[in-house]
Amino acid sequence: MKSSVLLFICCVVIWLGLNWPLTAGSLLSGVIVSIIVAALTGDMFVTRPHIAAHVRRYFWLAYYIVLLAVEVVKANIDIVFRVVHPDIPVNPGIVRVKTTIKSETGLTLLANSITCSTGTCTVDVDAGNGEVYVHWLDVKSQNTEAATELIVKKFEKVLQRIFD
Amino acid sequence: MNEFGYIFIVIGLGADFIGMLSLLRMPDVYTRMQAAVKTITLGTCAIILGVLFSYGISEVGFKALLCIALIGLTAPVSAHALARGAHKSGIPLSTESVCDHYHHSIVPSGEEKGNA
């Protein structure tokens, strides 16, 4: 029930944004469709509705968005340097790193953040063993623990506070 | 407000141009993927952010915000899927590459397993 209500609120907010100059017809049709969708698929998409009530998680989410934006800009400066440099200084390789995040949303966002941060791109996630395979433009260490420290830690701490 | 938006649009076009250049200059499919997804995520988001600043929070502005969220979520996922698909279909890393732990995880080869 709780998860259906959450999904209903998300659907209505996105619908209102897409049809902003509000008319009675669009509001009514949006609400009706949202009720149907939320009643049918609420339990499928929102599996742990109780964590939406923890206020602290939203502050960490805001911090995560700022962190991600900074990382994306840093990654782009790095790419500009590598692409414009006449010799293309790359030292690529795929390394294995470990993660302790358990939730599916957390793992997905971790993989996305690794792809967006400096010189790294996720190739595969092994959720069962908590392993992530990362393509690294400039391999600094082939050791799993050292690479985990360099690539995963800064996002893992924040994402664990949001989703676990 | 308008000039501020134009600055973001120019930054975005610059990033997209670098992304295009990286597709031509990088040595193999993984490095290309990596350079392209980062520059194009930033480039497209910056252009849409420029639109948002030009129009303010209006009917156009909110759709722009929604687009930024959707691109930020989906662009890395598509890069991830393409890289994984390329590896599974056997496209090799460039000769400059130093290690490939993913290959060893699919085809176990004794001592290379673990911290190679």
Distance of alpha carbon A92 from alpha carbon B28, whole angstroms: 10
Contact predicate B47/B8, CB 8 Å: yes
HEC letters along A46-110: CCCHHHHHCHHHHHHHHHHHHHHHHHHHHHHHHHHHHHHCCCCCCECEEEEEECCCCCHHHHHHH
List chain A domain ranges. 2-51, 63-163
Residue with tokens 């971790």: A110
**Contact call for residues B44 and B8 (beta carbons, < 8 A):** no
**Taking a C-beta distance cutoff of 8 angstroms, is the pair A92, A135 a contact?**
yes
A68/A117 Cα distance (integer angstroms): 8
The whole-number pLDDT of residue A28 equals 92
Please, which residues 44-83 of chain A have a Cβ atom closer than 8 Å to chain B?
A: 68, 72-73, 75-76, 79-80, 82-83
Please state the ipTM of this predicted complex. 0.80
pLDDT category at B7 given cuts 50, 70, 90 is very high
Select the residue from B101, B104, B105, B113 to test the A interface by mutation, using most A Cβ atoms within 10 A. Answer: B101
Torsion of CA B65, B71, B74, B76, to 10 degrees: -130
Please determine, for residue A31, whether its predicted confidence score (pLDDT) is greater than 80.
yes
Every domain of chain B and the residues it spans: 2-112
Put simply, whether A143 touches B (Cβ < 8 Å) is yes
In this predicted structure, the answer to whether residue B113 has a pLDDT above a threshold of 80 is no
